[in-house]
Structure 1
């Protein structure tokens, strides 16, 4: 039986990715939606990209662009660099790519250039890395960078009265457009959680794999989920992101 599975922010943690795919018993019959931020953090960033490129050949995958993919692509393809990016996981990426051949780098540039801004499925469920701001929906977003960077969608969901229905006058219009919205970008560990968090019709799958948390994969229909070990246990000789 096929499933639709969604995976939160990986941040270079290949060992965690391999672990959750195994724990969820993922098969080629399943559709896998990656919510972005595959890169930056732990030192397996290029190996994660290689793994995803290979996985796409054997499985039904949808890859969504995160803000870290945007920054890594700018660095790899244009040489654009900034200290803030390096401080938030980019330094590990710079260090490990020193040993990567140009042919492989070009293959990674091609992959990162083809990522989706968002995915809207046949059941009106939206998958996006961060959020969006236009009340008419993602198709009308003026500032496409919001798909990678916005945090106001999650803030709005957290502040809502959970008794409101999507038809209520006070339900945020942009959220009411969709049956469900699945995001990453803002770790739920910031509000004291270690598992996926649902507020209103928004599900946040970033369970802190960039830091001391775990990587999560979830069945979109049943909401059953599987998690890796905490990333520091899988990478005991690294610090990850600070």
Structure 2
């Protein structure tokens, strides 16, 4: 991805000065890219110290890439060292729903769940029976460390601060941000992406892959398809300025 210059946040939105957000897009099991981006954040803080920084992750930590388990372990480790916010993605909902409702396994496998199961040492057969689905759900529940399950269960549906609204997929136009449904926060696409009007806050999101970060007056999309492209995007915001690492 070609480097983009630092610039003002769109439409006059801002966050408090001396508080810098580092926001990371959809990781999808790419531990190598996560480690690289985390090192870039550390380097940026050394070059440009600030009073406080917060690392915000926009969900979809698992599936598709080869190292979902390792990604979760790495993110849990970050909690003990930095101010962090972890937002819920639709792929995390697929994982936890499968544990509770094993019949959802075929749907999860269609969107990359097999790679996550394999990362936890579970290998689903080609032709799944109902008994297989229940058995695999029980195996995953057993294989998940308690810290991982707790991580999944406490992910935030969204995170709002001053003029910023961090979310995985987007929001429903015409619905107040405080009243958004979990389904829309995790899954919405067309109705949100086609909306040109401003929201109450600037929406920072992922979920829909784009070649380069998409900067609109009402939203910024930083999902650059890391699992397939090798490009994991990190957006920083401080005051009324923004840029990319």
The interval holding the TM-score normalised by the smaller chain is: 0.7 to 0.9
Residue 3 of structure 1 and its aligned partner are, at CA, apart by 2.0
- Cα drift, residue 201 of structure 1: 1.9
Match of 1:168 in 2: none
How big is the shift at 1:74? Answer: 2.0
8 Å CA contact 1:9–1:38 kept in 2: the answer is: yes
Alignment of 1:148 onto 2:176: no
TM-score (norm. length: structure 2)? 0.75
Q: Which runs of 5+ in 2 are unaligned?
A: 1-17, 46-50, 123-139
Distance 2:229 2:146 in 1: 31
Look up the match of 1:105: 145
Alignment TM-score, normalising by the size of structure 1 = 0.76
Q: Which residue of 1 aligns with 2:72?
A: 49
Cα deviation, residue 9, structure 1: 0.2
- Between the aligned partners of 1:77 and 1:109, the Cα distance in structure 2 is 12
**Which residue in the other structure is 2:235 paired with?**
218
8 Å Cα contact 1:43-1:92 kept in structure 2:
yes
| C-alpha distance in structure 1 between counterparts of 2:203 and 2:57, whole Å | 14
**In the alignment, does 2:176 pair up with 1:137?**
yes
| 1:46 Cα deviation after fit | 0.7
Correspondent of 2:27 among 10, 33, 37: 10
**CA-to-partner distance for each residue in 1:56-110, whole Å, 9 max, x for gaps?**
1111000000000111122345545332321221110111212689474332111
Query: Partner of 2:75: helix, strand, or coil?
Result: helix
Kept in 1, the 8 Å contact 2:173–2:191? The answer is no
* Cα contact 1:134–1:140 (8 A) shared by 2: no
Alpha carbons of 1:147 and 1:104: their partners in 2 closer, same or farther (altered >3 Å)? same
Distance in 2, matches of 1:116 and 1:57, equals: 18
Pick aligned residue for 1:73 from 86, 90, 96: 96
Q: 1:22 aligns with which of 29, 36, 39?
A: 39
Q: Secondary structure at the match of 2:242?
A: coil
Equivalent pair of 2:99/2:141 in contact (CA under 8 Å):
no
Partners in 1 of 2:33 and 2:235 — Cα distance? 14
Q: Distance in 2 between matches of 1:117 and 1:26?
A: 28
Report the aligned-residue RMSD: 2.3
